[in-house]
Amino acid sequence: MAAFLQWRKFVFFDKEVVKEHGDTGKNVVLPSGISACDSGRGHIVLGDMDGKVWLLTRSLQLTPFQAYKLRVTHLYQLKQHSILVSVGQDEHGINPLVKVWNLDKKDSGTPLCTRIFPAIPGNKPTEVSCLGVHENLNFMAIGFTDGSVVLTKGDITRDRHSKTMTLHEGNSPITGLAFRQVAKATHLFVATLEKVYCYTLSIKEYPKVELDTHGCSLRCSCLADPSQDSQFIVAGDECVYLYQPDERGPCFAFDGHKLLAHWHRGYLFLLIRDPKSPNKTGFGSRESSSSDKQFLTIYDLDNKFIAYSTQFDDVIDVVAEWGSFYILTRDGKMFVLQEKDTQTKLEMLFKKNLFVMAINLAKSQHLDSDGLSEIFRHYGDHLYLKGDHDGAIQQYIRTIGKLEPSYVIRKFLDAQRIHNLTAYLQALHRQSLANADHTTLLLNCYTKLKDSSKLEEFIKSSESEVHFDVEIAIKVLRQAGYHSHAVFLAEKHMHHEWYLKIQLEDIKNYEEGLRYIGRLPFEQAESNMKRYGKTLMHHVPEGTTLLLKGLCTKYQPNGDGANKDSLDPLLNNKANSEEFIPVFANNPRELRAFLEHMIKVEPHSPQGVYDTLLELRLQDWAHEEDPARKKVLQEEAVLLLRSDNTVFDKALVLCQMHNFKEGILYLYEKGKLYQQIMHYHMQNEEYGKVIEACKRYGDQEGCLWEQALGYFARKEEDCKAYISEVLHHIDQNNLMPPLLVVQTLAHNSTATLSVIKDYLINKLQRESQQIEDDERKICQYRVETAHLRSEIQDLKTSAKIFQKTKCNMCNSPLELPSVHFLCSHSFHQHCFESYAESEAECPTCTPENRKVMDMLRAQDQKRDLHDHFNRQLRSSSDGFSVVADYFGRGVFNKLTLVTDPPGSKPVGSLEVNLQRDLLIHTKRNC
């Protein structure tokens, strides 16, 4: 039971007398003899003792219509329909009539009355005490002074679609009726002077529940709105009771004789008689003496305070309309109570430091989150100034999301209240509104307080509860020396770089770092090995080498960290082994094992792998003193060179640096550097090797014999055997002119004429033989030329007799028409036309003539090839033969261009008439 005296009292309403519109300033005067009131649908409805119903609009215009002949006793205005239900009398005696009015429809200027029926329970005439109508227009309840309740079910606006029944009978007068609709459940509360009942109308049998054994006076009951769960309020003289359909709810000790109870917009209005006024008895008495003082009190049951309290003289009723509350008094005045706005009410509470009440009020008024946050801030500031830092931080926490966090953080940093600041920062992180600075500050608070349990709880929250920047947290923990916490956080949230940085740089746990890298996906494992490979190789060489072997062949993560994508056989998860060679800078043994593994597993490894392995093998070969082992290392190095995977230039430099003879000679031969091979043997004075190199490579590069001859010629020791062998090859292949050979050997003081005697004799004999052959050919060509000239002369001067009897094509006897050529070939005309390619050429002689023409044309094309001539002249051992050849082609002859007749082909610079006689044939038809 809530005590009335404990409730604080405020003035949340402004009271004014309603005045007429305009500049007159006169008070609104109500009709006299008002007997009933109600409001809704934009007007206040008044009923008087003369049977009239008055409609008061917002513009304060009163419009009457005659509803009854005698008087109006009850009015009920529906809130969701323009339907007015009235009870009154048209005849003297006890004859109450119920009329239903449709205010939207007019009948001769009067609202349309859609239904009239007498209000009589059974056959006994009795007075109506109260009236209730359901908003869905399907139920209407009428209470009587004899204790009975009549229920009308169906369309209450029509007689045809409704039926009436007596729902309740008793001996105590009915003082209050109220319909309650929650979801599909419909209830009717019935209050009498002695008891309170509830009927369930949504069940066919209309079951009844007796809720209490004491009732209330007339007009002292009402129904609350959904904010109070639509409870039925009964105002007794000692207490105010609230009822659910099946039980009694809370009770409030509001003392005093109640005259009126209303519920409007979350407020309970109670009209209480002044205790100093004389009591009046009698049911339903509405008349009061002029000295009857009454107190109107407005209660806020949710927030437990009195919103307003004032005194009136003889109140008729309290109604709510147009956003305000109106009090009608017996003297014809109408007062308005206008509720102050929420902000004004809150400021009033702030002045009295009633922040808890302000918060509750703001929530009941459905103030937005910004408004509530402002109240929490005021409340927090108040508690902070009082020194209640714990309470202040709780209020500041409720402002998160609206109030700038720096406002709170600055206060508690200045006050050095780290515990309170920690609580605020924790709440800030729980709501995911913390930035990197807030995370840093919170972790610093934990470390300052040395609160490891809270720190672990913060960082070990589940994935769905992480409300902070993980990377910032790792940085702060690492800086504060909480390496184990930082490592946990980095591993949990897969911040691989931070995990490895802490493990390898701070904790120095190299084995764990290496194990962790082996669990990462390929790309991350590769990048981290490039970053930390040297460090790991220095401290964990075997494990690092093993991991690199896997990383550069077919990498698969180990353990639970394996990513499904990394295990896809279609992905080529292979690192470039050449990029990891610098990791082994100070570990040659591991590097050798790594490289040998790579070329064994991956024969197509990068060239850098082979080059580095070659360098290692050459170093081992150079430093090895055991002959047997040195031989093995030499074979391994040569085998690596023969794999053709090394870079030629690099390999050659390495072999030269280590004076690796077999490798140098192999690479020279591989690169076709035959002169370098010669020079190598010459530098080492290996005479036999020089001759052997000339024999092997002399065919590819003829100058080798010349170089060998010059080399031996410069030697002062006896090299006659070698010189003889070189001269023999030069003589056989005609590599040098004899004069040049003699000049070359003249530099050797030990060489005598006997060395080149045989060479010179052979050379002279061959040249003499060559001269004889050339003279013989000249004579032959002269004879042939004279014969050709005689034939040409005969063709020019003598007649040509054609005596052929057979066709040279088909070998059949000739028949007319036939074709004869000067070359003594004859053809049938049809054979000639079938086989001849041109009418002016003999089909038999054409192939041979074309060969001659092609040779002449080729010679003409080569006459201007000076570069080719010069090149041949420089490279030939006998320049005179080259010049003679070009003289024979006519290169040095004066060119004469001859224009042939149309249709003929241009030829070279030979005599025009001679060419025509030889190559152009005359066609004759016989």
Joined together, the tokens standing for residue 251 give: 């009770």
Q: What is the band of 661 on the pLDDT scale with cuts at 50, 70, 90?
A: low
Note whether residue 711 is domain-resident.
Answer: no
List, for residues 141-164, the tens digit of each pLDDT value. 999 999 999 999 998 888 887 888
Comparing C-alpha atoms, which of 255, 252, 258, 285 is closest to residue 270? Answer: 258
Note whether residue 39 is domain-resident.
Answer: no
Range with the lowest mean pLDDT among 290-299, 577-586, 619-628, 746-755?
A: 746-755
- State yes or no: pLDDT of 340 exceeds 60: yes
Note whether residue 670 is domain-resident.
Answer: no
Contact 584, 591 (CB under 8 A): yes
pLDDT at 924: 34
pLDDT at 639: 66
Q: Is residue 74 within a helix (H) or strand (E), and if so which, with residue range?
A: strand 71-77
List, for residues 481-491, the tens digit of each pLDDT value. 676 676 776 67
Note whether residue 551 is domain-resident.
Answer: no
Interstrand relation of 2-3 and 196-200 (parallel, antiparallel or unpaired): unpaired
Final residue of a domain: which of 860, 891, 916?
860
Strand partners, 232: 223, 243
- State yes or no: pLDDT of 700 exceeds 50: yes
pLDDT at 622: 64
Note whether residue 746 is domain-resident.
Answer: no
pLDDT at 365: 67
pLDDT at 244: 92
Contact 157, 100 (CB under 8 A): yes
pLDDT at 684: 62
Note whether residue 269 is domain-resident.
Answer: yes
- State yes or no: pLDDT of 721 exceeds 90: no
DSSP secondary structure code for residue 400 in this structure? B
pLDDT at 896: 44
For tokens 């746990």, the residue is 509
Q: What is the mean pLDDT of the chain?
A: 76
The CB-based long-range contact list for 233-241 (8 Å cut-off, 24+ gap) reads: 233/261, 233/263, 233/268, 234/176, 234/191, 234/196, 234/261, 235/261, 235/270, 239/1, 240/268, 240/270, 241/196, 241/212
Comparing C-alpha atoms, which of 126, 53, 108 is closest to residue 85? Answer: 53
State the CATH number of the domain containing residue 259. Answer: 2.40.10.480
Q: How far apart are CA 623 and CA 520, in angstroms?
A: 41
Joined together, the tokens standing for residue 533 give: 């490979």
Range with the lowest mean pLDDT among 370-374, 543-547, 671-675?
A: 671-675
Amino acid present at 895: L
Q: How far apart are CA 6 and CA 2, in angstroms?
A: 8
pLDDT at 899: 43
Arithmetic mean of pLDDT, 305-328: 90
3-state secondary structure of 919: helix
Comparing C-alpha atoms, which of 361, 381, 384, 382 is closest to residue 371? Answer: 361
Arithmetic mean of pLDDT, 301-312: 87
Contact 100, 113 (CB under 8 A): yes
- The angle subtended at Cα 183 by Cα 181 and Cα 186, nearest 5°, is 35
Q: How far apart are CA 906 and CA 520, in angstroms?
A: 82
Number of domains in the chain: 2
Range with the lowest mean pLDDT among 112-116, 241-245, 505-509?
A: 505-509
Contact 196, 212 (CB under 8 A): yes
Note whether residue 820 is domain-resident.
Answer: yes
List, for residues 606-637, the tens digit of each pLDDT value. 766 666 666 666 666 666 767 777 777 766 66
Note whether residue 369 is domain-resident.
Answer: no
Comparing C-alpha atoms, which of 397, 307, 295, 390 is closest to residue 345? Answer: 307
For tokens 């962790």, the residue is 516
How does DSSP assign 162-217, residue by residue? EEEEEEE--SSPEEEEEEEEETTEEEEEEEESS-EEEEETTSTT--EEEEES----
Contact 618, 655 (CB under 8 A): yes
- State yes or no: pLDDT of 853 exceeds 90: no
Contact 334, 17 (CB under 8 A): yes
State the CATH number of the domain containing residue 827. Answer: 3.30.40
pLDDT at 253: 87
Final residue of a domain: which of 322, 337, 352?
337
Burial of 114 (0-12, 13-18, 19+ CB in 10 A): middle
List, for residues 540-550, the tens digit of each pLDDT value. 777 777 877 77
Please name the residues in contact with 878: beta carbons below 8 A apart, sequence gap of 6 or more.
734, 737
For tokens 């809130």, the residue is 79
pLDDT at 453: 67
For tokens 């080059």, the residue is 611
List, for residues 38-78, the tens digit of each pLDDT value. 999 889 999 999 999 999 998 888 899 999 999 999 999 99
Q: What is the band of 319 on the pLDDT scale with cuts at 50, 70, 90?
A: very high
Contact 431, 403 (CB under 8 A): no
- State yes or no: pLDDT of 901 exceeds 70: no
List, for residues 776-831, the tens digit of each pLDDT value. 889 988 988 888 888 888 778 877 777 777 888 887 887 788 888 877 788 888 78
pLDDT at 361: 73
Full domain range(s) for residue 24? 1-30+254-276+292-337
User: pLDDT exceeding 90 applies to what percent of the chain?
Assistant: 17
Strand partners, 53: 47, 65
Joined together, the tokens standing for residue 37 give: 């009131």
Arithmetic mean of pLDDT, 850-857: 80
Residue 501 vs residue 29, higher pLDDT: 29
List, for residues 433-466, the tens digit of each pLDDT value. 877 777 777 777 777 777 666 666 666 664 445 5
Final residue of a domain: which of 860, 879, 894?
860
pLDDT at 764: 78
User: pLDDT exceeding 70 applies to what percent of the chain?
Assistant: 69
Please name the residues in contact with 633: beta carbons below 8 A apart, sequence gap of 6 or more.
617, 620, 621, 624
Torsion sign over Cα 829, 831, 836, 841 = negative
